[in-house]
Structure 1
Amino acid sequence: MAAPGASDKIRVGFIGLGGQGTGRLNEFLKHPDVEAVAVCDVDQKHVERAAGIVEKARGVKPEIFHDYRKLLERKDIDAVMVGTPDHWHALPTVQACQAGKDVFVEKPLCYSIGEGRAMANAAQKHSRVTQMGNHIHNDLPNYRRVVEMVQSGKLGKINRVYCAMASGEKSLGKPADTAPPPELDYDFWQGPAPKRPYNPNRSHFTYRYFWDYSSGYFIDFWCHYADVAYWALDLKAPKNVSAAGGRWLVDDNAETPDTLEVLYEYPELVLSWTLHPKGRPGYEHMGSCVIFEGTEATLVTNYNRNEIWAKGKLAPDFPRPEPSIPNSPGHIREFLDAVKSRKPTTCNIDYGYRLTKGGLLGVIAFRTGERIYWDDQKEKIIGKSKGHDLVSRKYRKPWKLS
C-alpha cells in the first residue's frame, strides 16, 4: 500500500471507543485530511456513539465493527488509533503493523515489558509509522523549555530527579459482582487477561485499578511525568528498582496502590517516584511535578510551568538558554504528517517502549516486594526473582501475541 501524499486523505480506523478513545476520535476529526472510515468496540453503546460522532462531523457513517481483526482486513485503511484499555494495546498494534497499517496507540504503551518488545519489533519489521499518544510530550511547549534548560548544563550536574504525583484518589466502593450489561461482550473485553466475574469497577474507566488490566495511577502518569526526565536526560533502563506502598487511603475493591514510593538507580543518577495526595513535600504549590536537582540549581516543573531555585531561594532571573526545540503541531497532527512523509514521530513506539518499560519495572518491584536488578541488553531480571513471571504475561487462550 502506497503512503498517502501530502494533500491526500488518510483513512483511519478507530479501535477502542470508551472515554479516552472517543476523545481521540474527536481530536482526529478536527483534521480535514482524516477520513474516519471504521469504528470498533466490544461495547455496542460505545461503537454506536462513535459512529454518530463521525456521521455528524463528516456526513458519512463509518463501518461498524465489534472485532478489530475484521477492521484490519480492510485494505483501504492507512492507519489505526488504538484507544483500548491497557491490556488490549499490544494485540491490535502488532496485528495492525502486520497488516501494513500505521498505528497511533494510547499510553501507557503496553501492559507488560514483553508486549512492548513485540510492539517495537513489529513496527520495525513492517516499517510502520507509530505514535504513542502523549499529549503533554507534544502539545504543550513547557516540557521543551525544561529539556533545553537541563541539557544546557546551567543547572550543573544532575544526579537526582524526583517525580511526584498528587493522586487524590476517591473510593470506587465495593459493588457486588453481577452479570455484564447486554451491550458489552465481556469475554472479548477481557481478551488475553484472566477470566474473572464481571464487576462494574473492573471495566471501562476504572479497569485501570485492577492488576489484570493495568497498573493504576502510577503507570498512567509515569508516562506523563517521567517522560520529561527520560527526554531531557536521555535515560535508558534503570540498573535496579525498589518500591513500597499500598492501597491505604481509600476503602474499595480496587487493587493498585494509592500510596507509592519507587526508587530507581540509573547510571550516574537516582530517580524517585512519589504517589501521594499532596505530591512532593516542599513543592505542594506545584502539585504533580518533576524536580531536577543539579549542583548549581534545582528546576521544578509541572505540565504548564517551571521554576528554578538556587541557594535555597526562588531564582526568577536565573539565566536560561534560548528556545531551540521546535514546537510540535500536536501529537495527532505530528502522526498524520508522519504517515504522509514516513518520517518518525518524536514519541514513537521505540521511545514509548523505553519510557513505559521503566514504569513497568517499578510495577514489578512493587508487586514482588523485591529489589529488581535488570539486564537491559538481555531484557531480563538478573537472578532469582518472582518478577520473571511479570516481565511477560501468559495470555488466556485462544489469544496469542506473535
Structure 2
Amino acid sequence: MAGGRQASRRRFLGAAVAGGAAGAAPLFVPVTFASSAFANESANDRPGVACIGTGGIGMRDAREHREFGDIVAVCDLDRKHAERAKYDVRVGAGKAETYADYRKVLDRPDVDVVSISTPDHWHVKIAIEALQAGKHVFCQKPLSLTLEEGRLARAAAEKYPRQQFFIGTQQRAEKDLFLRAVNMVRKGLLGDIRRVTAGIDGSPTGGPFPAEPAPERLDWDRWLGQAPKVEYRVHRCHDLFRWWYEYSGGKFTDWGAHHVDIAQWALGEDGPGKGPVEIDGIDVHHPIPFKDGNPTRDDWFNTAHDFAVTCRFKSGVELVVTSRGDNGILFEGTKGRLFVNRSKITGKPIEEGWDKDAFTDADVRALFKGKPGEGHKQNFYRCIREGGLPVSDVFSHIVAMNTCHLAAIAGRLGRKITWDPAAERIVGDEQAASFAARTPRAGFEIPRV
C-alpha cells in the first residue's frame, strides 16, 4: 500500500478509535456528507473493504460499499461467485483478491471493514472472529440463527466497543416511510397502541428435491458449516437456504428481521429487558409433518408457509406476525391507524397530516442516535469515522431477533411459550428451551468472548 494511503487510512480509522472509546469524545471535526458517497478528504482516505459472501445480496452490498471504500478482497465458497465479484467493474474491478477461506481475509492488515452476506448460519461466527481481528463489521440480517447466537454476538460487541458492528436492516434509514411511522407511534399521535400486525409473507413450498453431487466449484462441506452434514441438493444452497430451518428461520427471521424490528422500535420494545412475554404459535403450518419440533423429511422445504403468531407484551400490546395479508406493518391505536411498507405509508393520520410540524430534522436525528438522517451504509461509514452507535445497531437488533426466533420455536412446536425478556430465557417448557441453542459440528464452533 502506498505511504499516502496508509497514513490517510490511519487518520480515518484513528477517528473511529477516538470516537468509539467508552466515554470519550471524538477528537476531530465531524465531516459533512454532501453526496451519497462518503466525503473523503482525498482519494486515499478510504478504508479497505472485504466482502465475504458474494451471491446476489452480497454483490449488491459490495457495490454499495465501494462508494465508501476500496474492495480489496472478495470471498465465497462458490468459486464462480468470487470470480464474478473480482471482475465486476463496480466491485473488485479486476484488482480484488479472491478467497474461499474467510479466515485468510481476516488476517489481512489492509482490511478495515468486513461485509458479511453469507447464509444466516455463518453470520455470527464470522462476525465475532472479524471483531477479534480488529475489523469493523457490516452484517446482513438476520444476524443470528438461534437465541444463544444473539447473546454471543452481544458479548462480542460489548468486548470490542471500538469496532462498529452494523446490521443490514435498511428500513431504519427510510425516512419518509418507516421513520415517519416510528415517529408517529413514539409521539403518541395514534393514541395508545393496542395491536400491531407485521405481514411478512410465507415461505415457499416445494419438494421432494433430489440429491446430487455438489458442483466442483463449491465447497459443500464447508458451506454447511455448523449445520448437520447432509447430501447436496440444489434447493438447499445459495439463495434457497432460507427455506430450511437448518440454516435459517424462514420468513420469521428473513422478513421478521425487518418488520418486527420496526414494530418493536416504534413500541419502545427494543431495549434491554424488552420483548414479548407470551408467544402463541398454535396457528402455524409447515409444508411437511414435524415431530417434536423437527421436520420428518430432509428433501422438502421445511420452514413455515402459513402462520399467524401472536406475541403479547407486558404492556398488553399484541404483535401479530403473519404470512397473511399485505407485506408491511399495521399500527392500530386508540386514535388512529396507519400501514407502512417499502412502497407506501397510508391511513387517515397520513392523509390528514397528523404529524405536520411533528416530524422535524431533530426528530430524524434523534432516531439516528444523534447522527443526521442519511443512507444506510452512509451511516455505517460515518460511525466508523465519528464513533457512536449506528442507526442499525446490534443491540436493538438482537432484541427484535429474540421475538423472531421465539415465533419460530413456538410455531415449530405448535403451542404457546412463555418468555422472560429480562433473563432472556423460555420459562416452564424444557423442550422449547432446548431450541434456544444448537450444537455445532466439530470445527465450526462459535467463539465465546
TM-score normalised over the length of structure 1: 0.90
How far apart, in 2, do the equivalents of 1:364 and 1:76 lie? 41
Q: Which runs of 5+ in 1 are unaligned?
A: 280-286
SS in 1 for 2:252: helix
How far apart, in 2, do the equivalents of 1:260 and 1:231 lie? 23
Q: What is the deviation of 1:139?
A: 3.8
Number of matched pairs? 383
Question: Do structure 1's residue 194 and structure 2's residue 239 form an aligned pair?
Answer: no
Question: Do structure 1's residue 16 and structure 2's residue 60 form an aligned pair?
Answer: no
2:186, 2:268 within 8 Å by CA — same for their partners in 1?
Answer: no
2:323 equivalent in structure 1: 275
CA separation of 1:361/1:19 partners in 2, compared to 1, >3 Å: closer, same or farther?
Answer: same
CA separation of 1:51/1:99 partners in 2, compared to 1, >3 Å: closer, same or farther?
Answer: same
Q: Tell me the amino acid that sits aligned with residue 25 of structure 1.
A: A
Where in structure 2 are the equivalents of 1:2-401 lying within 5 Å? 3=13, 7=41, 8-29=45-66, 31=67, 33-53=68-88, 59=93, 61-127=95-161, 128-167=163-202, 170-235=204-269, 236-243=274-281, 244-248=283-287, 253-268=300-315, 269-276=317-324, 279=325, 287-309=326-348, 316-317=351-352, 319-322=354-357, 323-324=359-360, 325-326=363-364, 328-401=373-446
1:159, 1:270 within 8 Å by CA — same for their partners in 2?
Answer: yes
2:121, 2:248 within 8 Å by CA — same for their partners in 1?
Answer: yes
Q: Tell me the amino acid that sits aligned with residue 21 of structure 1.
A: G
How far apart, in 2, do the equivalents of 1:254 and 1:13 lie? 32
The list of structure 1 runs, each at least 4 consecutive aligned residues, that deviate by more than 6 angstroms after superposition, is none
Q: Tell me the amino acid that sits aligned with residue 247 of structure 1.
A: H
After superposing the two structures, state which structure 1 stretch, 137-146 or 293-302, moved more.
137-146
Q: Which runs of 5+ in 2 are unaligned?
A: 1-8, 16-39, 289-298, 365-371
1:282 equivalent in structure 2: none
2:86, 2:94 within 8 Å by CA — same for their partners in 1?
Answer: no
How far apart, in 2, do the equivalents of 1:334 and 1:318 lie? 28
CA separation of 1:301/1:43 partners in 2, compared to 1, >3 Å: closer, same or farther?
Answer: same
Q: What is the deviation of 1:172?
A: 4.0
How far apart, in 1, do the equivalents of 2:342 and 2:319 lie? 18
Show CA shifts across 1:173-211 (max 9, x none).
433111111110000000011111111111101111011
Give the aligned CA root-mean-square deviation in angstroms: 2.1
After superposing the two structures, state which structure 1 stretch, 260-269 or 225-234, moved more.
225-234
Q: What is the deviation of 1:81?
A: 0.3
2:52, 2:102 within 8 Å by CA — same for their partners in 1?
Answer: yes
How far apart, in 2, do the equivalents of 1:309 and 1:238 lie? 28
Q: Tell me the amino acid that sits aligned with residue 146 of structure 2.
A: S
After superposing the two structures, state which structure 1 stretch, 86-95 or 70-79, moved more.
70-79
How far apart, in 2, do the equivalents of 1:229 and 1:122 lie? 26
Q: What is the deviation of 1:140?
A: 4.9
Q: Tell me the amino acid that sits aligned with residue 238 of structure 1.
A: P
How far apart, in 2, do the equivalents of 1:59 and 1:39 lie? 11
How far apart, in 2, do the equivalents of 1:65 and 1:132 lie? 23
CA separation of 1:181/1:63 partners in 2, compared to 1, >3 Å: closer, same or farther?
Answer: same
1:90, 1:115 within 8 Å by CA — same for their partners in 2?
Answer: yes
SS in 2 for 1:387: helix
SS in 2 for 1:37: strand
TM-score normalised over the length of structure 2: 0.81
2:86, 2:93 within 8 Å by CA — same for their partners in 1?
Answer: no
Q: What is the deviation of 1:309?
A: 4.2
